[in-house]
Amino acid sequence: MYAVVEFLDDHEVAVVNADWVLPNGFCFWPPFKNASKLNKCVINCVEADESWLKLKVRKFSETSDYSKARERVARAEETSQVESDVEEIQPRKRRQPIRFIESSSDSEDEHQKHPSPPKINTSRLSMNSPVTPSTPQRSVEQIRRQFTTGAGLISSTPLAAPERPIAPKPVAPAYMLQIITMLEKINQRMDDMEKTQREQTGKLNQLLIVAGVAGPELELPASLKLPMSTIVECNGVMMSLKDKSTKESLILHLSTIGGTNAKEVTKRIMKVLFTDTLATHYNWKGKGDKTAFSTLIFKDIIERAVRKNPMTRYATDLEINECIKNWLRYAPERMKKVIL
């Protein structure tokens, strides 16, 4: 989902990831100076990081179509109109965004190089006195003679620009084309293998459940009531997890939740363990008045459960921990959406 916003510091309109826009009127902005990196972040809906800039914005609209969002930006830059197709008469003044300005020295030098024009003395002018041109007047005979002889005529046909030589397009060698073709086939085969593996894993889990092999092991002890919604419930569950068999039962249960990548699996596990209300009491390092999630026993349990999933067996601790951080960070926003 994309959002069209106006940055209030420089009144510039842009397309951003809708998840970057915070309820408090601020918006995350990537700290990249490269335009291509910025576009990739927006188009691919990259999740915001806490290290990004936070800028004051005014949100106009949201849309799932990136092309439509760009059209609204273009319309807003010219007419200050985003939602409707009717353009206003007054055009918007464009200026360079503050978030892209490196230094003001260059612009100051340009103003110094080009002095301002002299002011016109309007005290001598009046409404009744005509303004006389500075160029000398010519007689009708002089003008007729000039056009009769052809002197001073300016051709209305512009001079043709000299043709530039067209550079030949580079042609890739034959062996490079063969390598590219082979890589495309390998990539397609890997996608097919991944799809087949996913289907087989799902069928295998169903067979195990039907055969009764995994059923008893997937049942949670009565002391583990999920999801936890209060700190008191969380402390009680952590006391129960000191028992090794209880801990292993929870890991096995969480590993069957499913998912195709580390991000998806981790999010599903967090939803099973915690409500958004309880998640607001934690962050990764325990900043402010919150508890450090990285010191809890749930960190190790989640990492092991994610890697028990056949599709995410090679997920690293860094990948899993980043997903946990983001899920905890956006818990207050999820609560507001539920209320709305």
pLDDT, tens digit only, all 340 positions of the chain: 898 888 888 888 888 888 888 988 899 888 887 888 888 888 888 888 888 888 888 888 888 888 888 888 888 776 655 554 444 434 444 444 545 544 343 444 444 444 444 444 444 444 444 444 444 555 555 555 554 454 444 444 555 556 677 766 677 788 888 899 899 999 999 988 888 887 787 677 667 655 554 444 467 888 899 999 999 999 999 999 999 999 999 999 999 988 889 999 999 999 999 999 999 999 999 999 999 999 999 999 999 999 999 889 999 999 999 999 999 999 999 988 877 6
Residue 193 lies inside a defined structural domain of this protein: no
Q: Name residues whose C-beta falls within 8 Å of residue 97's C-beta, 6 or more positions apart in sequence.
A: 7, 10, 12
Residue 123 lies inside a defined structural domain of this protein: no
Three-state DSSP class for residue 106: helix
Residue 203 lies inside a defined structural domain of this protein: no
Which DSSP symbol is given to 45? Answer: T
Last residue of a domain, one of 44, 72, 100: 100
Last residue of a domain, one of 100, 123, 145: 100
Q: Name residues whose C-beta falls within 8 Å of residue 164's C-beta, 6 or more positions apart in sequence.
A: none
Residue 196 lies inside a defined structural domain of this protein: no
Answer yes or no: are the C-beta atoms of 5 and 94 closer than 8 Å.
Answer: no
Q: Which residue intervals of the chain are DSSP H helices?
A: 35-43, 66-79, 105-113, 140-149, 174-211, 215-218, 231-240, 244-255, 262-273, 276-279, 297-308, 317-329, 331-339
Answer yes or no: are the C-beta atoms of 254 and 301 closer than 8 Å.
Answer: yes
Number of domains in the chain: 2
Last residue of a domain, one of 71, 100, 129: 100
For position 66, what pLDDT does the model report?
87
Residue 23 lies inside a defined structural domain of this protein: yes
Residue numbers of the domain that contains 223: 218-339
Residue 152 lies inside a defined structural domain of this protein: no
Q: What residues are paired with 54 via a beta bridge?
A: 28
Bin 22: left if φ > 0, else alpha if -120 < ψ < 50, else beta: beta
Residue 236 lies inside a defined structural domain of this protein: yes
* C-alpha–C-alpha distance, residues 220 and 225, integer Å: 9
Q: Tell me the residue type at 174.
A: A
* C-alpha–C-alpha distance, residues 88 and 177, integer Å: 52
* C-alpha–C-alpha distance, residues 157 and 168, integer Å: 31
Residue 161 lies inside a defined structural domain of this protein: no
φ/ψ of 17, rounded to 5, equals -65, 130
